Copies of this chain bind each other. A is one copy, B any other.
Amino acid sequence: MTPACWIDGQPADALLLTDRGLHYGDGLFETLAVRQGHTRRLELHLERLLLGCERLGIPRPDESLLRGELHTAAQGQDKAVLKLMLTRGSGGRGYRPPAVPRMTRVLFRYPWPDYPAAWVEQGIELKICRTRLGLNPALAGVKHLNRLEQVMARAEWEDGAQEGLMLDTDGGVIEGTMTNLFASPAEGRLVTPDLALAGVAGVTRRHILERARGEGIDVEVRSLVLDELLRCREIFVCNSIAGVWPVQRIEARSYPVGPLSRRAAAWAAES
């Protein structure tokens, strides 16, 4: 199942071997949902991408160019996934970035993954991963191309669980391998882990945070340990493609699909 691919706006299937995206993971990406030709939450995705450029010291891409390329790739697609990658371009040997990097834009269009409806309705099972997330404020929050921790975590199990829960090296709960996490410690309240030292600050997480606060729900962004998470009333994970998946099971413990998970699912489904 080969995705449709473009480099710098031109159809392509291969990337120059000298690209720093390959050598060092020196770049960023965004994963966007397309529904009926429309790219969901495009503004939030672009905002995060530009913030990531700032964090990594990568020149800001031409935003209108990105918008145009995303628009073209989304056009006529009923349901699709776009993955936009931005690397620091080709370089010589060595870590030092070129003085004036010529960024590479890579765009992939994948078929929509048809996750079972039961995952949204009845919830999923979370496995607790052994692989931990290292702490580094310089990279935390950024959706960069250094994703070996997630790969190793996702390689820990085959079947059964739909998602894996990742802790940081200090034992704090951070996120799923490909999702962010919310939990309700008490009726009408939500908590989501602080991502100042590890994790990816997801666009759907941000949207849910903003919608929940807009509706007067008390949402805390703070550190969360596993014991507290396991005692929460309801738990859900989210990303741009899955929307919201309530968690019905973490290893031996069961959770109900609660009212906050339902509301968050509705917010995530907004276009």
Q: CB within 8 Å of B: which residues of A?
A: 1-3, 5, 7, 12-26, 29, 56-57, 81, 83, 85, 87-88, 92-97, 106, 108, 110, 113, 131-139, 144-155, 169, 177-178
Contacts and interface: CB of A to CB of B under 8 A. Distances in A.
| Copies of the chain in the assembly | 2
B18 A17 contact: no
A131 B135 contact: no
Contact of A95 (B12, B93, B151): B151
Give the one of A1, A93, A97, A145 with max B CB within 10 A. Answer: A93
Nearest to A6: B17
B25 A24 contact: yes
Given A25-B25, A147-B146, A148-B24, A154 B13 contact: no
Contact of A146 (B13, B96, B148, B177): B148
A133 B136 CA distance: 7
Contacts of A106: 17, 22
A146 B25 contact: yes
Contacts of A18: 2-3
